A = this chain, B = another copy of it.
């Protein structure tokens, strides 16, 4: 097996160019690649398109700012493709002020669109969103009497994912609900960087228990 380069969070952040579509794992801060997010803020990342479940929890009163929230605050995103922004008033403010373009996607549709990109599918037919605003601008197809929306693949330039453990080849294992969008994003982007808590020798992970095969992972950041 090939050993993958272990890089710093700052080096990971430097892989992103202005205008890139960045897919960020995590769900309301659980399973987010926090060291890399911090490095992206420090690097002054700008004009990115975010693909993420949400924009994190941002609560100034409580001093909480998790997931992509520090990046939102730093105005790193021109566009945000997410399912939920209810826990981040700053995202709502930027949206209402016209400072950023927020596109809401149903969570399951977001998952399938990312998976489709990673799996070489042009898209999927989902019943989710039929009869709602989500229909707008989309093809609607009827199969066996049921209506579906055609939802297209959503690829990215760089994926930042967070895993519990990696072996040096880049096989990843996630912990509990910190798994969420991480494994699918790892399939869908040109460059995939995994922030991990533990780095173990090749052979130390049971091959039946790998969540993300090593071939998807380009770089490893030790959190």
Contacts and interface: CB of A to CB of B under 8 A. Distances in A.
A208 B173 CA distance: 9
A64 B141 CA distance: 46
Task: Determine the interface band of chain A, counting residues with CB < 8 A from chain B.
Answer: 20 to 34
Contacts of A179: 208
Given A143-B152, A152-B143, A208 B124 contact: no
A124 B123 contact: yes
Contact of A122 (B127, B173, B176, B209): B127
B116 A122 contact: no
B121 A124 contact: yes
Nearest to A126: B121
Copies of this chain, whole number: 2
B120 A124 contact: no
Interface of A: 112, 116, 119-127, 139, 141, 143-144, 146, 148, 150, 152, 173-176, 179, 207-209
25 contacts: A112-B121, A116-B124, A120-B126, A120-B127, A121-B124, A121-B125, A121-B126, A121-B148, A122-B125, A122-B126, A122-B146, A122-B148, A123-B124, A123-B125, A123-B143, A123-B148, A124-B125, A125-B150, A141-B150, A143-B152, A173-B208, A174-B208, A175-B208, A176-B208, A209-B209
